[in-house]
Copies of this chain bind each other. A is one copy, B any other.
Amino acid sequence: MIILLKSNPDPEQLDSLTSWLESKDIQIHTSAGVSKTILGLVGDTTVLDIDLIAALDIVEDVKRIQEPYKNANRKFHPSDTVISVGNTQIGGGNLTIMAGPCSVESEEQLVTIAKAVKASGATMLRGGAFKPRSSPYAFQGLKEEGLRLLTLAKEATGLPVVSEIMEASQLALFDDVDVLQVGARNMQNFDLLKVLGKQDKPVLIKRGLSSTYEEWLMSAEYVMASGNERVILCERGIRTFETYTRNVLDITAAPVLKKLSHLPVIIDPSHASGKWDLVGDSAMAAVAAGADGLLIEVHNNPEKALCDGPQSLKMDTFEELAKKLIALHGFLATLKGEIA
């Protein structure tokens, strides 16, 4: 961390600052220029609250050199984190395909889809039981019943299950769920993150609608600092001025996050664009960009049920896409061996 002091800082306040820093085991390297003095801080600066320092009267500017996250930082953990769930592995060169309906609706719907996506190559089943909806009048999910149906579908297919948890108090209900999903709107629900850090199921954290990479990694850090190292990051599109797509898929999140962190990164192309006919190309791009996997919405029969989104793939479209994704992933692995 570098602190740029204002010209002629008050000596008493400067003493107060340096004593405080030293009390935190930070070494200070002072560099006095003609008009400005710079303090270079060496030590574990993640414990420093940059806003507090910036607020001091004698400080003109503060700049981090080290990232503010430790557990999630690849610098301190160079090799990829690989997360085992059931008999599948997330990260480390594997291609994870999580597929299933946006909302769990009925046993028939869920089991049909689960069997189909498994046959097509999916490695995990996704399905929402608790649904965050911007309107209190919209369908909020089947809740406990939805979780029960997910257990049935898991038993029927052997696929591990990922489902969204919205509040700490729901945790007891998620016994049979394999991966706990934190939704975009809850990415900075810090109380929830702390609770998820104190249990041992893997946690999939979706990026907030307008969260920076750093904020997202800090949310992962909340879980990890509380004791749970098994975190998966999921890019699902960010909010911008463009309204043609629901969100804008930030494809570069995959290589960026994999540089900054050792955690697996997956992409949700369904929520990103909000249009089923853009899901295929986006998913292919995600694999080519180096993502560890995908989270894809698949439904069976939208015409009969009034409960599937314009962003869901039909089962046969998913089947074709999954083939292409798996083929592309294999091709890229070979290519890497040949060229790089």
Identify the A interface with B (CB < 8 A): 2, 4, 10, 13, 16, 20, 27, 29, 31, 33-36, 38, 40, 42, 46-47, 49, 51-57, 60-61, 63, 65, 68-69, 132-140, 166-169, 185-186, 188-192, 194, 209-210, 212-215, 218-219, 221-222, 225-226, 238-245, 248-252, 254-256, 259, 272-273, 277-278, 281-282, 284-290, 302-304, 306-310, 312, 320, 323-324, 327-328, 331-332, 335, 339-340
Given contacts A35-B42, A188-B185, contact A245 B239 (CB under 8 A): no
Beta-carbon contact of B286 and A210 below 8 Å: no
**Which B residue sits closest to A195, measured CB to CB?**
B167
Flag if B320 contacts A340 (CB, 8 Å).
yes
Q: List 16 A-B contacts (CB under 8 A).
A: A16-B304, A29-B34, A31-B31, A51-B138, A54-B310, A55-B309, A60-B65, A136-B221, A167-B168, A210-B239, A238-B241, A248-B248, A252-B278, A281-B290, A284-B288, A323-B339
Cross-chain contact B38 with A31 (CB below 8 angstroms): yes
Kindly state the separation between the CA atoms of A339 and B131 in the bound complex, as whole angstroms: 35
CB distance B46 to A137 under 8 Å? yes
- Oligomeric state, in number of copies? 4
Let me know if B33 and A40 touch, CB within 8 A. Answer: yes
Kindly list chain B residues whose C-beta atoms are within 8 Å of the C-beta of A56.
302-303, 306
CB-CB under 8 A from A169, the residues of chain B are 168-169
Report which of B242, B255, B324 forms a contact with A213, defined as CB distance below 8 A.
B242
Contact status of A36 and B63, CB under 8 A, knowing A254-B281, A335-B328:
no
